[in-house]
Amino acid sequence: MFCYQCQETVKNQGCTIQGVCGKIAPVADLQDLLIYNLRGLSFWQLEAEKVNLRDPELSKFIIESLFTTLTNVNFDQDSILFFIKKAVTLKFELKQKVIAALKKQDQLDSLKNIPDAANWVISSNNLEDYLNKAHEIGILATDDLDIRSLKYLLIYGLKGMAAYLDHAQILGYQDQAIYNFVEEALAATLVDTLNVNDYLNLIAKIGSFGVQTLALLDTANTSTYSHPEITTVFTGLKKGPGILVSGHDLKDLAELLEQTKDKDINIYTHGEMLPANAYPYFKKYPHLIGNFGTSWYNQQKEFQEFKGAILMTTNCMQKPLPEYKDRIFTTGQVQWPEVNHISARTQNGVKDFGSVITKALAQGNLDPKEGKKLTIGFAHNTLTSVADKVVAAVKSGAIKRFVVMAGCDGRSKEREYFTNVALSLPKDTIILTAGCAKYRYNQLDLGDIDGIPRLLDAGQCNDSYSLVVIALKLKEAFGLEDLNQLPISFDIAWYEQKAVLILLTLLHLGIRNIHLGPTLPAFLSENILNAIVQMYNVQLIDTVDNDIEKIMAGR
């Protein structure tokens, strides 16, 4: 195997024996093969467009399949094999339809230079054959370091986009133009003649479609569950049976709450599900008690401590420990071998969380535990409503600078940097946050400025869109032409491919001087990294003191 798609990859070079995430080599290799076949299926989707045969259902499958290859999502070999087989079948069926249509129009000669990924079919059900093909077409098959770097920057950005599109399409929100771009970009990676500029143009498009993707998911969430509002969240435990819900999927939480409303079971969020507590829709369920635990990387400790049932709804899964393996359940794209999996909902149906409910009741009462109160819900709709107050505080000098500290959390000790930055920033700064990076500082007592909390939590990582909207609103309020003229700086923590999409989206908006850490992505070659630094002055985080000096100076 060779994998370097996440921040924790070995020696910041690549995992070659087993993923730091816990992914075994065959699973990582099979995920490469799945991506290869999705690229081939995308090729046929583009050809199908020419004869009016493009299939929106195949677009949805491509998105779901891309999502399953993200870091910390699907660790189950049989599940990945299922996706590969389905991709190959769908690819072959679409190929036959396209060829038939071209023959009918006497245009078969127009079909030239069909790449191997578009033609490859399964010759046997022997796992070794799959793995041999995976080794042949893996990341290292691209010899040119700069082209490899750009190709996988593109693919990882598309993976991040797919995660957010999957959440939106689960709620019934789709945008075929975005799907078309995903397929266009995947198919382009099969063209051997693409040069650096060709890839840079595609990567620039990712940023543009990244804005549309984040806006689509924001619309899906707020139209379904209304706009988040400022909310104080309890972080302890109450007596009674309990279910802990982690991941990102709001629809799973909604269905679980409805199925447990008369069961005397308490529901708690964990990790990136914390923002759900701010949506008005969920507040109608009094048995949604609050949030227990912190970031995804602490889950082994926190899931042991939580004695009830546990439901993982999306990515951010670690290897389950024996102490809770029999009471953790997965659903959606997330899977782990020998862990109970809740099947996908049928069309217009709901998932059946009966097994989770039964386990929670069997576990009995949880011991009460005191917890701090967290204030959340500062998404763009909330902050826009108090924009006049914020602008006045800036004009009076009460607020000197906004610092966006958003993104992902992770295990490395270097991430204490973000806690120390939050503690050390001048008292006249406001921190805007989204994503699980906030767990590094969201329980600190940072105070307020004229009644405005110094830490404003906009929500999940996808709610980084809120931070973009807020910045654009401030730009408008101050009559500026360039976001970089705002008193706003970006100190971003990254871990996986969703953060890659967020970064590309920020770059598309022209934002310069982004501080990124705790390491720069291993998949960026020296030449490509230098080009990005030259264009946008993206820089690796430094010492706390040095970075705060730069942040306050806007550089």
220 and 235 assigned to the same domain: no
147 and 278 assigned to the same domain: no
284 and 204 assigned to the same domain: no
pLDDT score recorded for residue 113? 87
Q: Residue 369 domain-assigned?
A: no
The CATH number assigned to the domain holding 355 equals: 3.40.50.2030
Q: Which amino acid is at 401?
A: R
Counted residue by residue, the chain has a size of 555
Residue whose pair of structure tokens reads 């799907």 in the numeric block: 179
pLDDT band of residue 110 (cuts 50, 70, 90) is: confident
Question: What is the percent of the chain with per-residue pLDDT over 90, rounded to a whole number?
Answer: 87
176 and 247 assigned to the same domain: no
Mean pLDDT of 65-83: 96
324 and 383 assigned to the same domain: no
Nearest CA to 408 out of 521, 513, 326 is that of 521
- pLDDT above 80 (res 514): yes
- pLDDT above 80 (res 347): no
Rounded Cα–Cα distance for residues 525 and 530 (Å):
8
76 and 163 assigned to the same domain: yes
pLDDT band of residue 391 (cuts 50, 70, 90) is: confident
Structural domain containing residue 545: 378-553
173 and 281 assigned to the same domain: no
Mean pLDDT of 376-394: 87
Nearest CA to 510 out of 470, 538, 474, 478 is that of 538
99 and 219 assigned to the same domain: yes
- pLDDT above 80 (res 254): yes
pLDDT score recorded for residue 385? 82
262 and 389 assigned to the same domain: no
pLDDT score recorded for residue 243? 98
Mean pLDDT of 22-51: 97
pLDDT score recorded for residue 61? 97
- pLDDT above 90 (res 387): no
- Name the pTM for this structure: 0.95
Nearest CA to 280 out of 217, 348, 215, 221 is that of 221
- pLDDT above 80 (res 47): yes
What are the tens digits of pLDDT across the range 202-228?
999 999 999 999 999 999 999 999 999
* Mean of the per-residue pLDDT values of the chain: 94
More confident site: 481 or 14: 14
92 and 214 assigned to the same domain: yes
What are the tens digits of pLDDT across the range 330-341?
999 999 999 999
Q: Which residues are registered as beta bridge partners of 232? A: 375
Among the candidates 199, 224, 249, a domain finishes at 224
Mean pLDDT of 382-406: 89
- What total number of domains does the chain contain? 3
What are the tens digits of pLDDT across the range 440-452?
999 999 999 988 9
Structural tokens at position 508: 């598309």
Q: Residue 420 domain-assigned?
A: yes
Q: Residue 77 domain-assigned?
A: yes
Rounded Cα–Cα distance for residues 372 and 477 (Å):
35
3-state secondary structure of 329: strand
